[in-house]
Amino acid sequence: MPRHVACVMDGNGRWAQRRSLPRTAGHQAAESAVIDVVEAARTAGVRWLTLYAFSTENWNRPGTEVDHLMRLVRRAVRRHAPLLLARGIRCRFLGAADPRVPPELAQDFDDLTALTSGNRGMTLTIAFDHGGRRDIVAAARSLIRSGTPADEVTERLFADHLPFPDMPDVDLVIRTSGEQRISNFMLWHVAYAEWVFPEVLWPDFRAPDFLACLHTYRRRDRRFGGVPPRTNGERS
C-alpha cells in the first residue's frame, strides 16, 4: 500500500464541454469525486493524500472561472469540515500564498487546519495556489537566510526548509483524464513516484477507479535506480 498518494484532478473542463455545459459546471461536479476519493483512501489505509486543486498557473484562466472556483472551494470547505473532523482526518493547505486568494477563503483554510490539527488519521493536503518551483525557490531562500554554508547543504537539510517538512515523498501520483504531464506539482516530493494516468475525467473518478490505481501501483517494481533482485533460476 502506498504511504502517500497524490492526485492531479484533471478533466473538469472537458467533462463540462462534452455535456455542452460551462466549464464551471465541471468544477462543481468535481466535488463528489473529491469526497469519494478521500473516503476510499482513508478506508484503504493510505496515510497521506494530497490533491492538486489549483496551481500558480491557474491564475491565468478567465477571471470569472477563477472567481467561481474560489466560491466553490469555500463552500466545499465549510460543508465538509464536520465530516473530515469526524473521520479523524488532518487537513492542511499547501500554497495559498498569493494575495489574490480571497481573505475569507484563506481564513476558512486556517480554520479547517486548526479544527483538524489534533486528528491522527490520514493527512489530507490540498495543494491550492501551489507551484513546485516556487516551493523549491522558497526553500533555497530559507537556507540562505539561515546562513547555512553551501558545503553543508544536503538533500535532507534542504527538505527541512520546504513547506511541511514532515510530509513524506509521494509514492503514487494519479493524474486523471489521460494527460501525462507533471504540471509543476510537488517537484521535490515526486522524484521517485510511480505515475498512473487513467483516462476517466476527474468528475467521473470514483472509489473503484482509485482502488484500481492502487492495484496498479502494487504490481509495480520500485527499484529507485537499482536493479531487480535475481531469482534462483537466473544466472549471474
Residue-wise pLDDT for 25-58, tens only, equals 999 999 999 999 999 999 999 999 999 999 999 9
Residue 214 has pLDDT above 70, yes or no: yes
**CB contact at 8 A, 95 and 130:** yes
pLDDT band (50, 70, 90) for residue 231: low
**CB contact at 8 A, 98 and 22:** no
**Measured torsion, CA atoms of residues 97, 162, 222, 1, in degrees rounded to the nearest 10:** -70
What's the whole-number mean pLDDT along residues 194-208? 98
| Sheet strand arrangement including 194-196 | 90-95, 123-130, 48-55, 4-8, 172-175, 194-196
**In 3-state terms, what secondary structure has residue 34?**
helix
- pLDDT given at position 222: 76
Separation between Cα atoms, residue 140 and residue 118, nearest integer Å: 30
Tell me the pLDDT of the chain averaged across its residues.
94
**CB contact at 8 A, 176 and 205:** yes
Angle formed at CA 91 by CA 85 and CA 96, multiple of 5 degrees: 140
| 172-175/4-8 β-pairing | parallel
Catalytic option among 10, 108, 129, 135: 10
**CB contact at 8 A, 1 and 214:** yes
Give pLDDT tens digits for 67-108.
999 999 999 999 999 999 999 999 999 999 999 999 999 999
Beta bridge partners of 55: 130
Catalytic residue check, 151: no
- pLDDT given at position 236: 44
Distances from the Cα of 199 to the Cα of 10, 11, 29, 91, 213, angstroms: 10, 9, 17, 28, 12
Question: Which letter does DSSP use for residue 185 in this model?
Answer: -
Catalytic residue check, 58: yes
What is the percentage of the chain residues whose pLDDT exceeds 70? 94
**CB contact at 8 A, 161 and 141:** no
Helices 207-218 and 23-44 meet at what angle, rounded to 10? 60
Catalytic option among 36, 58, 119, 184: 58
